[in-house]
Amino acid sequence: MAGDEPVVNPWLPQSGRPEGSNGKPPRSVQGIPTGLSGPRAPQGTGVPRPDRALPVARPQSSDVQSWWWLGVHGGAGVSSLERAVPGGRDAGRAWPVSFGNQPVVLIARSSAHGLTAAQNAARQWASRMVTGVDLLGLVVVADAPGRRPRVLRDRVRLVSGAVPRVWEIPWVEPWRLGEPHLPKECVTLARDLNRLTQHPPAHSDI
Q: What percent of the chain has pLDDT over 90?
A: 51
Q: How confident is the model at residue 18 (pLDDT cuts 50, 70, 90)?
A: very low
Residue 57 near residue 66, CB atoms below 8 Å: no
Residues facing 127 on adjacent strands: none
**Average pLDDT, integer, range 114-135:** 92
Q: What is the pLDDT of residue 74?
A: 95
Report the sign of the C-alpha dihedral through residues 9, 10, 11, 12, in that order.
positive
Angstrom distance (rounded) from CA 131 to CA 100 = 9
Tell me the per-residue pLDDT of 144-182, one tens digit each, with 9 for 90 and over.
999 999 999 999 999 999 899 999 999 999 998 988 889
Q: How confident is the model at residue 10 (pLDDT cuts 50, 70, 90)?
A: very low
Q: What is the pLDDT of residue 180?
A: 87
Q: How confident is the model at residue 50 (pLDDT cuts 50, 70, 90)?
A: confident
Angstrom distance (rounded) from CA 168 to CA 32 = 8
Q: How many CA atoms lie within 13 A of 4 on its CB side?
A: 1
- State pTM to two decimals: 0.78
φ, ψ dihedrals at 73, nearest 5°: -160, 165
Q: What is the pLDDT of residue 57?
A: 82
Q: How far is CA 175 from CA 83, 154, 182, in A?
A: 10, 26, 9
Q: What is the pLDDT of residue 5?
A: 43
Angstrom distance (rounded) from CA 134 to CA 132 = 7
Answer whether residue 2 shows pLDDT above 90.
Answer: no
